[in-house]
Amino acid sequence: MADEQRISTTRRISAPTGRIFELVTDPAGHVKIDGSGMLVAAGDARRVTSAGDAFEMDMDREPLGDIPMGKYRVRNVVTRIEPDALVEWTVGGIDHPPIGHVYGYTLAPVDDHTTDVTSYCDWSGVSEKWKARVSWPVVPLTMLEKSLANLDRVVTFPTTDA
C-alpha cells in the first residue's frame, strides 16, 4: 500500500455526476449504498450541503456477524464538500468526539452519462493513541469496493420507496 494511512478504490459508473452526488449527500443514500442492514439514517437526517453539516446514523453490527459491538449511533460531520465533485465526512460517536478518520467520495465526469467515482477512507488524522489500539486497515479495501458496487447498482437500478 503506497500510503498506509489512506485506502481508496475507483469505479466507473454509468450515471451522470449530479445523480451520484445527490445520492452520496443524502443520509438515506448511505443506507442504500451500504446494503448490509447495518445502517439506518436518523429520522431527522437531511441532505448535506456544506462543511459542518451533520447527519446521524444508527449502526447495528449484529446483521454482519463480524464485530460484537451491538447497536450504537454515530454522528457524521461533513469536512469538505464541492458540488458534483466531492463529499467527505468524519465519524464520531454521539457521546465522544470524532476519532479522526474520514470517509469520502470524489466524482470525476467522464462524459454526460458516465462518472469515475473514488471512495476512500483516510486515517491520517487519527492520534497515535488510537493508531496503537487499532489494526490498520479498519475498513478494508473490499468494503469500499462493495460500497461502490452497491452505489452502481442503486444508481443504475433505482428503487422506489413506498
Percentage helix, strand, coil for the chain under 3-state DSSP, each rounded to 5: 25, 35, 40
In CATH, the number for domain 6-156 is: 3.30.530.20
DSSP 115-141: EEEEEEEE-TTS-HHHHHHS-S-SS-H
Encode pLDDT of 88-113 as tens digits: 999 876 666 777 789 999 999 999 99
**How far is 57 from 82, CA to CA, in rounded Å?**
22
**How far is 8 from 103, CA to CA, in rounded Å?**
10
Q: Where are the domains of the chain?
A: 6-156
**How far is 130 from 109, CA to CA, in rounded Å?**
36
Q: Is the pTM of this model over 0.85?
A: no
Q: Which of 98, 105, 80 is nearest to 30 (CA)?
A: 105
Encode pLDDT of 30-74 as tens digits: 888 887 777 778 777 899 999 999 888 887 766 555 555 567 778
